[in-house]
Copies of this chain bind each other. A is one copy, B any other.
């Protein structure tokens, strides 16, 4: 039998619900058991809510410019919700929801929480899901999310309930096109679940709709496994908790294998885009022999050779003790943080963009082409790279023609260069070991895992809270929960004006108001704890084996937030 996932069906919502055959997909035993989990809401959201307004806010930088760009949504107060024991009946709300960008565990629970929140306000509320990301709004592709559908997705991983996409909502024409369908469906509020860019665009959209009196509120929700959407007012993005736990499970398993076999060095690259939050969190959880933090590499202006020598020295020191094994964690964005590599990539991007003939050349000729066209300094760096990596730098570019960082096999680049360095050290009598590297890249394994209890609760509450923000009549706000190291019933619920997180940055040659991306702070406790321990972890074998995410066991196993969150709270 051929099963038709519902969003391939003709996109008319009423018909869809009756035709939805997706549910016939076979469910695993865990999925069935996990469906019964009831996320625990913060106390503030368990009755009707009272809205408490704080002081007017300011953007984190460039206040005047941003105020000018957001005349209607700048300077709004933070909002805190308090429990109102007296039920306050609300009017029915028609809302829309969009999943934007890369998958993160818990996205379905945001939608379930939003649905439940809207229905609690008024049982006649409706929720529409726009399909395959922001493009669904522009192209008018949607379904109505009914309780039948919602119940199939509680506490599940993935974004497949409505799909996601990377279309950027940036242009007036898109906003206007979107408004047509919002009006048609009588939708008065749109919830955008996304990362820093998507929430930046949510704020622009909120301002635009407010400005033209469209009567549509826009609310954002902080999503990304990368952990780079956080700041003074946002403690964590959802998905980071689950994804880092999946990666830490795997790293722990590999470390136990490594420690049993005692003959391999495992080079493990971890997803996370520019920021090294994922690598750092996994290092704190698993205590590997080496973890590179891109932000530190940049701050110390390290060369690729510096990084290679750092690893090689540890390999050699362990070999001197007879330990020819170990683990190295590598953030996927590393290459871009090495100044010499950054220069090389920038020149390559330019060179190849203006050389369409390049694609037609044979591999050897491509190499010659690149070497003969690059500046002397960059040509030298390019020539020093292992062949396979050099080739990758010139292939597989994204639609903008840029190097796709996640496709560069940094883990192999580093191990090859470490191997070379070790052979040199052997010649100098400084190394007398055996170096057998193995390589791993973890990313897709964690983005759609079923959410941990933390993410299941956090996401459900983010969605439920978004419904409360809609009911409060605000726009341009991010759904916000704080106090996240505490049990979820104690979390503080409310909303943050998105413009509050803005600063001006150069993007594609233009200054734009954007949410500041959070990189690893070298003065923050998570990094400092790591830095204080890494020399010990390098030489001793101090591996920790976290094991897989548990959903049913004791609280100390199932309900712990990330160490990053824990340590960051110590900073507050």
Which B residue's beta carbon lies closest to that of A555? B29
**A262 CA to B262 CA, complexed, in Å:** 40
**CB of A120 within 8 Å of the partner chain:** no
Listed stretches A443-451, A511-519, A523-531; interface member? A443-451
Q: Assuming the A-B contacts A444-B438, A445-B254, A447-B257, are A29 and B540 also in contact, with contact meaning beta carbons closer than 8 angstroms in the complex?
A: no
Known: A28-B252, A28-B546. Contact between A257 and B163, CB under 8 A?
no
| C-alpha spacing A157/B548, complex, angstroms | 12
A250 at interface by CB-CB < 8 Å: yes
Q: How many Å lie between the Cα of A157 and that of B258 in the bound state? A: 12
- The B-contacting residues of A in range 263-309, CB under 8 angstroms, are 264, 266, 287
Instruction: Report yes or no: B256 in contact with A158, Cβ–Cβ below 8 A.
Output: yes
Size bracket, chain A contacts: 35 or more
B553 touches A257 (CB 8 A): no
Out of B30, B160, B557, name the residue touching A29 (CB < 8 Å): B557
A543 CB contacts on chain B under 8 angstroms: 25
A384 within 8 A of B: no
Give the docked Cα–Cα distance between A18 and B388 (Å).
50
Contact code string A519-545 (vs B, CB < 8 Å = 1, else 0): 000000000000000001001111111
- A interface majority secondary structure: loop
Contact partner of A552 among B102, B266, B287, B552, CB < 8 A?
A: B552
A12 located at the interface, meaning its Cβ lies under 8 Å from any Cβ of chain B in the complex? no
- CB closest residue in chain B, given A387: B363
Is the CB of A261 closer than 8 A to any CB of chain B?
A: yes
* CA–CA, A159 and B253, complex, Å: 12
Rounded to whole angstroms, the CA-CA distance of A543 and B22 in the bound complex is 11
Which residues of B lie under 8 Å from residue A252 when comparing CB positions? Answer: 28
Say yes or no: A262-B132 contact (C-beta < 8 A), given A26-B287, A444-B254, A449-B253: yes
Q: Are B550 and A30 in contact (CB under 8 A)?
A: yes
B29, B103, B542: the one contacting A25 at CB < 8 Å is B542
On whether the beta carbons of A548 and B549 are closer than 8 Å, the reply is: yes
A560 in contact (CB, < 8 A):
yes
Binding stretch for chain B, among A2-10, A206-214, A464-472, A480-488? A2-10
* Contact of A322 with B by CB under 8 A: yes
Find chain B residues with CB under 8 A from A557 CB.
Answer: 29-30, 33, 552
Q: In the assembly, what is the distance between CA of A388 and CA of B386, in Å?
A: 13
- A547-B28, A548-B548 in contact; A253/B448 too (CB < 8 A)? yes
Contacts of A260 in B (CB 8 A): 103, 158-160, 163-164, 448
Once the chains are docked, how many angstroms separate the CA of A252 from the CA of B34?
15
**Contacts A3-B541, A545-B28, A552-B550 hold; do A445 and B253 have CB atoms under 8 A apart?**
yes
Asked whether any CB of chain B lies closer than 8 Å to the CB of A249, the reply is: yes
Judge whether A1 is part of the interface by a CB distance below 8 angstroms: yes
CA distance A26 to B444 in the complex (A): 29
Given contacts A25-B543, A445-B250, A548-B249, contact A160 B30 (CB under 8 A): no
User: Beta-carbon contacts of A227-257 to B below 8 Å, as 1s and 0s?
Assistant: 0000000000000000000100110111011
A192–B363 Cα distance when bound, in Å, is 52
Partner of A556, one of B33, B447, B553: B33
**B554 and A33 contacting across the interface, CB-CB below 8 Å:** yes
In the complex, what residues of B have CB within 8 A of residue A28's CB? Answer: 252, 544-547
List, in ascending order, chain B residues with CB within 8 A of A26's CB. 287, 542, 544
User: Cβ of A20 < 8 Å from any Cβ of B?
Assistant: no
A551 within 8 A of B: yes
**Cβ contact within 8 Å between B29 and A163:** no
Cβ-based interface call for A259 (8 A): yes
**A253 partner residues in chain B, CB cutoff 8 A:** 157, 246, 444-449
What is the distance, in angstroms, from A368's C-beta to the closest C-beta of chain B?
A: 14
Q: B254 to A536, Cβ gap below 8 A? A: no
- Nearest chain B CB to A229 CB, angstrom units: 19
Residue of B nearest to A26 (CB): B544
Q: Does A503 contact B (CB under 8 A)?
A: no
Please tell me if A68 contacts chain B, counting CB pairs below 8 Å. no
Q: Which of chain B's residues have a CB closer than 8 A to the CB of A322? A: 8
Docked complex Cα distance between A549 and B544 (Å): 18
Contact A29 B552 (CB under 8 A): no
Shortest beta-carbon contacts, A-B, top 4: A548-B548, A552-B553, A256-B448, A30-B547
A-B contact pairs, 25 of them (CB 8 A): A2-B540, A8-B321, A25-B541, A25-B543, A28-B545, A28-B547, A29-B560, A30-B546, A30-B548, A103-B256, A132-B262, A158-B259, A159-B260, A160-B260, A253-B446, A254-B448, A256-B448, A264-B444, A440-B441, A440-B444, A440-B445, A548-B548, A550-B552, A551-B553, A552-B553
Chain A residues within 8 Å of B, Cβ to Cβ: 1-3, 5, 8, 25-34, 102-103, 132, 156-160, 163-164, 246, 249-250, 252-254, 256-262, 264, 266, 287, 321-322, 363, 387-388, 438, 440-441, 444-450, 536, 539-554, 556-557, 560
